[in-house]
Amino acid sequence: MKIKVGVIFGGESVEHEVSIISAIQAMNKMDEEKYEIIPIYITKDREWYTGDMLKDIDVYQDFNLIKKYSDNVVLYYKDGSYILQKKKGLLKSTVKEIDIAFPIVHGTNVEDGALQGYLKTIGIPFVGPDIYAAVAGQDKTIMKDIWKEAGLPMTNYVWFYDSEYKENLEEIKKKIKKLKFPVIVKPATTGSSIGITICENEEKLIEGIDDAIQYDNKIIVEEVVENLKEVNIAIIGNYESQKVSEIEEVLSKNKFLTYSDKYIGSGKGKLKGIKSNSLKTSSKGMATANRKLPAELEKNTKEEIEDIATKAFKAIGTSGNARIDFLIDQKTNKVYINEINSIPGSLAFYLWDAKHINFTQVLDDMINIGIKDYKKRMSKTHSFESNILQGFAVNRGLKGGKGKLKY
């Protein structure tokens, strides 16, 4: 019997379209001998839809087609099963049952623990990071504070809330003066290089912060690494065991890898792994970025990156398949960990390809880890048989709605 895998993607996020690309890439590479693949698309207005048509990238050029020809559903627990049930109609029938959820989502409101919290609340097994790791993987301030405590090498940084910036600009400037220009300004919880600015002076800094505030209420400012070489590595596993991918060097004409570098590319070619004849390069996901794969690194630098990445993965406590980004000062050969992406664009399949592990195997490994994580959670005690509310109403004068609650 096939395992019913509900692939969840989309959502109210600035990385909505990137999520669609990543999910369709994955669905078209899953082993259909093992899995029944059930697409679950969340629109930007938070409605959930399912239907086989959602596996085709061309459908998303007209959202009205989705609403017309796929089923508007809710996912919930009923009679021992996790079901997708129609929201509308006199007969709100079950459309599909799900054995395990596979979130392939990017950005706030989905990748940041919000979706994982819902899945955990209804009790369904799911692939990827738990709530806590998802939060830490999305919020760069929490992420960096954890890694700082773990003693991992990072550039100097400060962070603040938008309200602090608006109410006391001079105080925020004073915090930032602890850093040396140039600095890079980022919204703390977005991805895909959205809202990021390199700032060489104070005037540019204010522009960068004003831009970042459009996307987030927490802003992080970091020192820029000079003589930069940017490299990435992926890790599959959980807190118990991990394996590392090949390392890539990402190439950009810009001072950091931009959204365009990642997802637009040169404008030529088609999307590897998606069954469609009309796809453009803008649908390639992170697979479109210019890169050297494998990266040209000294043996000791490669081993250092693998070691730091493994420690960072375990410190965050994540699970599944994460990509971890590093910055190298080519003059000093100093390595800095930059950030983790707990559900990376294109699921970083190209990094595993370079190690002769194909995308289908990566997805299979991720699902198996998700099942193991679920069994581990279920082996722990989460509630007690005793009910402290027995007799509570009588003893506290609450029976029949009379009396006052006393402590």
Predicted confidence at residue 279, as pLDDT, reads 35
User: Has residue 128 got a pLDDT over 90?
Assistant: yes
Write out the H or E segment, with its range, that includes residue 50.
strand 48-50
pLDDT, tens digit, 9 for 90 and up, residues 338-361: 999 999 999 999 999 999 999 999
Which CATH entry fits the domain spanning 137-150+226-251+290-376: 3.20.20.70, 3.30.2310.20, 1.10.10.350, 3.30.470.20?
3.30.470.20
- Give the pLDDT mean for 183-188: 94
Predicted confidence at residue 282, as pLDDT, reads 42
Indicate the CATH number for domain 3-126: 3.40.50.20
Q: What is the pTM of this model?
A: 0.86
Spacing of C-alpha 55 from chain mean position = 20
Q: Give the three-class secondary structure for 326.
A: strand
Distance CA 363, CA 133 (A): 20
Domain with CATH 3.30.470.20 in the chain: 137-150+226-251+290-376
* Residues 57, 271 contacting (CB under 8 angstroms): yes
pLDDT, tens digit, 9 for 90 and up, residues 203-261: 999 999 999 999 899 999 999 998 999 999 999 999 999 999 999 999 876 555 554 55
Beta bridge partners of 72: 49
Strand locations in 79-122, DSSP E?
Answer: 81-86, 94-98, 100-103
Q: Give the three-class secondary structure for 198.
A: strand
Q: What percent of the chain shows pLDDT beyond 90?
A: 74
User: Has residue 192 got a pLDDT over 80?
Assistant: no
User: Has residue 191 got a pLDDT over 80?
Assistant: no
Give the confidence band of 392 by pLDDT, cuts at 50, 70, 90: low
Higher-confidence position of 276 and 399: 399
Give the burial string for 53-74 (b: 16+ CB within 10 Å, else e). Answer: ebbbbebbeeeeebeeebbbbe
Superfamily of domain 157-223: ATP-grasp fold, A domain (3.30.1490.20)
Domain with CATH 3.30.1490.20 in the chain: 157-223
Domain with CATH 3.40.50.20 in the chain: 3-126
Strand locations in 192-284, DSSP E?
Answer: 197-199, 218-223, 228-237, 242-250
Write out the H or E segment, with its range, that includes residue 8.
strand 3-10
Q: Give the three-class secondary structure for 197.
A: strand
Predicted confidence at residue 281, as pLDDT, reads 37
